[in-house]
Chain A
């Protein structure tokens, strides 16, 4: 009898976890609808958006530029070491450019973005909720969806592709520094091989589409976790952690799906 009741407990736990996750998914989707509806009001108050573009985009720029530079430099070095054995070191340029545009640019930017901007969004909104600022706004007949959430969501959505493009461009320059200036490869081959191989639509646009999708997912998770957090110090901490973990997993999972859809032959 004891065994049976223990078994029942296990089932109850499983059921509770499943129902809880579906409930969160449902709340998240309804929340997303609300945010998108509220975003229309940004056209009448663009200054709210500009402030968030500064907080979310401009302040993430430094880490993106530095990371892009070093990722490009390391990629160039590593592909040089691998390719020089086959006498194919002239392909360093095309290898780095393709990896940056297709994968590393969007994915690393999104991971850094989740860590730098996503966590800040969650903490900020969560603290507003914990200190009852959001309720205060509602009391003053200010819609927090329009005033707080929508500008942050749209700013994140816009910033991601811009950051990813800058990351790729800086990465290419870093690769150029290492390949041409340091390793002494031919500068003509470095630029002309990508020009023959990289396709504007297939590679550059698809990379931008990827970063748009990542930006959407990361900011959605970040603002929802903040808005939905348990309003205590501990709940806020957990929500911030969840933002980083969930959005990183979402980025890697979505990246696989998008790669299969885009580059399958």
Chain B
């Protein structure tokens, strides 16, 4: 084995490892949701966020427009405050846009869905959405259903 061949093989080995890393980073990780253009932050108050997590998607009309960056609980209003980073190219949401927590599929992950309103002014960095709909909690729905059945029988 000449030293040239050895060097070629080692170079091939390291190149293969770098290629493998980029393949993993690009095709199976969320690298595209980091950076990649500027973002602005919008907050929304929810009574109940259900299974929403940091990094959950935010979408409008089924298109992904940003992600959840922070979820806090406010002891003053007894509500959950969800901060979302929205990509700057989607900066034309009217002030009365409604946010709701939806589930993709029956058992899929939860995401925030935006439903644009009709106001003339648009949401800016730091604004808060008040028109919200909480996550559906299956236990509550079943509970309500059982109560309504019981009421009907009386």
A contact residues vs B (CB 8 Å cutoff): 47, 50-51, 53-54, 57-58, 61, 88, 93, 97, 101, 159, 161-163, 165-166, 168-170, 172, 191, 194-200, 203-204
For the complex of A and B, 8 pairs with smallest distance between CB atoms? A162-B17, A169-B20, A194-B28, A198-B29, A166-B20, A54-B6, A165-B20, A200-B29
What is the bound-complex CA distance between A145 and B28, given in angstroms?
42
User: Which of B8-16, B78-86, B129-137, B144-152 is the contact stretch?
Assistant: B8-16
Q: Tell whether B30 is near chain A: CB-to-CB under 8 Å.
A: yes
Contacts of A168 in B (CB 8 A): 20, 24
Nearest residue, chain A, Cβ from B1: A54
What is the bound-complex CA distance between A191 and B10, given in angstroms?
31
Given A199-B55, A200-B31, A200-B34 in contact, is the A57-B25 Cβ separation under 8 Å?
Answer: no
B contact residues vs A (CB 8 Å cutoff): 1, 3, 6-7, 9-10, 12-14, 16-17, 19-21, 23-25, 27-32, 34, 55, 57, 107, 109
Is the CB–CB distance between B3 and A47 below 8 Å? Answer: yes
Count chain A CB atoms within 10 A of each CB in B27, B29, B34 and give the residue with the most.
B29
Q: List 28 A-B contacts (CB under 8 A).
A: A51-B3, A51-B6, A53-B10, A54-B1, A54-B6, A54-B9, A54-B10, A58-B12, A88-B107, A93-B28, A97-B28, A101-B28, A161-B17, A165-B20, A165-B21, A165-B24, A166-B17, A168-B20, A169-B20, A194-B29, A195-B30, A196-B57, A196-B109, A199-B55, A200-B29, A203-B29, A204-B25, A204-B29
Since A166-B20, A200-B25 are in contact, a sample of 10 more A-B pairs with Cβ atoms closer than 8 Å, ordered by chain A residue number, is A51-B3, A57-B13, A162-B13, A165-B20, A165-B21, A166-B16, A169-B21, A191-B28, A198-B29, A199-B55
Given A198-B30, A199-B30, A204-B29 in contact, is the A169-B24 Cβ separation under 8 Å?
Answer: yes
| Number of A-B pairs, beta carbon distance below 8 Å | 81
Contacts of B20 in A (CB 8 A): 165-166, 168-170
Nearest residue, chain A, Cβ from B34: A200
What is the bound-complex CA distance between A91 and B16, given in angstroms?
28
